[in-house]
Amino acid sequence: MIEGKDNINFFEVNIVKRILLLLLFMMLLPFAEKAFASNTVIQVNKEVNVYDNRSGSLVQVGTLSAGQTFEVTKDYGPNWWQIRWGGYYGYVEKKSTKVVSAKTYKNTVPAVTKITDYIVPTKVAPIYDNTDIKLVQFATLSKGIPFPIYNKMGNWYGIAVDGRLGYVHSNNVVEEKGKHTTNTTKPVEKPTTTLPSKKNGYIEALENVTLTDFRREKAMAIATLLKGQQLEVVDSMDPTYVKVRWGKSYVYAEKSKVKFVNTPAYKNVGKDSTMKNQYFIPTSPNSELYDNSAKTLKPFAKLDTNRRYPILKKEGAWYVTVLGGRVGYIHSSKVAMDRGVPVLMYHHFLKERELGRFKNVSTTMTDVQFAKEMQYLKSKNYETITDDELLRFMRNEITLPAYSIVLTFDDGLLSTREYAYPVLKKNGFKATQFLITYRNESAKDGQIFNHNDLQAISRKDMTNMQDVFAYESHTYNLHTLVQNKGKMLLIPYHEVVKDLQRSKTMIPKAKSFAYPFGQYNANTIKAVKESGFVMAYSTKHGYNNPYDDIYQIKRLASNQKTTFAQFQKMVLPYAK
């Protein structure tokens, strides 16, 4: 009896334990569900918009980049995820994401608890992750939408994006202190279940309509959609523009100049994103893009002769591209292959009578020759672009006009003040000087130019010429040859890094570097990266294209032996 009683008590105790555990589980279930939701991680399948719905309608506040992962703060029903965004919440369509087991990034950061200062994008602003050896874009901020600042590092603003630390460059935003307050308005409980992102899917031009790219500070007209012609729409939520895919980016058409249609009248459908990293430039004013799905060619768009267009393929004598999901043909006789953006390299300038020992020296040019070259660029409407724009172009974040050029000047010599600066200013050009900062630190203000010597510009000279020149690094004091080998290649790695970092004390905003004498190796590139430079210029001959190595930027040199005809051919954006 004692044995049986013990068995009954054991059974009863276990029943009680199970009931208590069940009750405890039910009590904790809401907290468990909340914890699960907050730890849910999604991966974005393609670039997806982030919306704020506190106004009662959806307002785009940014985008998330394809392939990137983010934590979810709340599951918002069958259509939406809620994520932390700009001090409150943003909403992302589920159909463009998938749930994954873990986030792929490392730079987590707590939410901003006290918000006082904001950045306001002056254009669509890329947000970068900087935990690897290169910056990786993982999201964007929409133009004009305030976002709280987490910290600031040099030219970069740190922001907390859904618990992830991201960096936005100061060129893309303005800082506003205390002008905004966190909007605590509660979100609408049920965001719109479907977005009007494709109003009937296609647009038809009511008149000739310009297709515009807004990724640069100044808008670029890319092509003209001809009256009565149609393209596929990507997004139509903006009150002024409809969004059309172009290559791996987008162009925009004014809503007032188009109408929406249900189905396309054309048959030649293509995927813009499948195009190659090869481009053509129209060379004829008759640069129509043709539909060839019928038996006769019919133009549906007109291209710009100062633009580069991605190539899908070549069919016989025709180049094929895609615009707004529509395949187009242009005859090879009206285009030329783009060879990329040229970067010109200059050093020292003298008048013909001043040359003396610099006669026929490859790094010296006469003032007359330089002025003639710059006047030619001006007459052909070349646009001098900055380091930042070249970097974004090579990362395929923007396109640039076909007639774009970068002007660089090595060594920071005083002759640039005498002979280059006035010419550049007259023509409205921008340029970059790479400084050997030890020499510039030592240079005295107000020095008189001596054509028999190599003098460095001073701090005052730099200030006086900053309306034309940006100043970057050419080392602090490693611009020396030892038996025809650059000192940078001969000293220990840590000394190279120390020198490069020291070069920034005079030019703290420096982000690009030029290798002394064009000499470098894998270790040199590593040191340049470790020192905080995001791009570097070589002396290798050639042109620069999207996805080229940004730490081996190619350049072209003009010197006393370069004829004017050779110069004209050298800067041409395409090969004849």
Q: What is the pLDDT of residue 6?
A: 37
Q: 3-class SS at 326?
A: strand
Q: What is the pLDDT of residue 188?
A: 52
Taking the C-alpha atoms of residue 443 and residue 455, their distance in angstroms, rounded to an integer, is 8
Residue 205 reports pLDDT greater than 80: yes
Q: For 8-42, write each residue's pLDDT tens digit.
A: 343 344 444 444 444 544 454 444 434 434 479 99
Q: What is the pLDDT of residue 236?
A: 81
Q: What is the pLDDT of residue 57?
A: 65
Confidence of residue 87 (pLDDT cuts 50, 70, 90): confident
Residue 378 reports pLDDT greater than 60: yes
* Location of structure tokens 């809401």: 30
Pair type for strands 431-435 and 404-410: parallel
The mean predicted confidence, pLDDT, of the chain is: 87
Confidence of residue 3 (pLDDT cuts 50, 70, 90): very low
- What's the one-letter identity of residue 152? K
Domain ranges of the chain: 41-177, 202-337, 343-571
Q: Give me the mean pLDDT over the 274-278 stretch.
A: 88
37: enclosing H helix or E strand: helix 2-39
Q: For 220-272, write each residue's pLDDT tens digit.
A: 999 999 999 999 998 887 788 999 999 888 999 999 999 999 889 999 998 88
Q: How far is CA 310 from CA 272, 274, 392, 538, in A?
A: 9, 10, 17, 27
Helix, strand, coil share (%) of the chain residues, nearest 5: 25, 35, 40
Confidence of residue 55 (pLDDT cuts 50, 70, 90): low
Q: Where are the beta strands (DSSP E) in 292-449?
A: 298-303, 309-310, 313-315, 318-323, 326-331, 335-337, 343-346, 348-350, 364-366, 383-384, 404-410, 431-435
Pair type for strands 535-541 and 512-514: parallel
Q: What is the pLDDT of residue 379?
A: 98
Taking the C-alpha atoms of residue 103 and residue 36, their distance in angstroms, rounded to an integer, is 14
Taking the C-alpha atoms of residue 436 and residue 516, their distance in angstroms, rounded to an integer, is 9
A 10 A CB-CB count for 278 gives: 17
Confidence of residue 59 (pLDDT cuts 50, 70, 90): confident
Q: For 140-177, write each residue's pLDDT tens digit.
A: 998 888 898 888 888 888 888 988 889 999 888 888 87
Q: What is the pLDDT of residue 80?
A: 86
Q: For 335-346, write each residue's pLDDT tens digit.
A: 999 999 999 999
Confidence of residue 180 (pLDDT cuts 50, 70, 90): low
Q: Give me the mean pLDDT over the 453-481 stretch.
A: 96
Residue 516 reports pLDDT greater than 50: yes
Q: What angle do CA 281, 284, 286 make, to 5 degrees?
A: 115
Q: Which residue, 275, 317, 322, 316, is CA-closest to 303?
A: 322
Q: What is the pLDDT of residue 238?
A: 78
Residue 364 reports pLDDT greater than 50: yes
Q: What is the pLDDT of residue 112?
A: 53
Q: Which residue, 465, 352, 320, 475, is CA-closest to 410?
A: 475
Q: Give the dihedral sign, CA 163/169/174/177.
A: positive
Residue 549 reports pLDDT greater than 80: yes
Q: What is the pLDDT of residue 34?
A: 41
pLDDT above 70: percentage of residues in the chain: 88
Higher pLDDT, 187 or 130: 130
Taking the C-alpha atoms of residue 534 and residue 101, their distance in angstroms, rounded to an integer, is 32
Q: What angle do CA 346, 476, 433 make, to 5 degrees?
A: 25
pTM of this prediction? 0.69
Residue 102 reports pLDDT greater than 70: yes
CATH match of 343-571 with 3.20.20.370: yes
Q: What is the pLDDT of residue 86?
A: 81
Counting runs of H as helices and runs of E as strands, what totals does the chain give? 10, 43
Confidence of residue 53 (pLDDT cuts 50, 70, 90): confident
Residue 54 reports pLDDT greater than 90: no
Confidence of residue 2 (pLDDT cuts 50, 70, 90): very low
Q: What is the pLDDT of residue 295?
A: 75
* Location of structure tokens 């730099």: 462
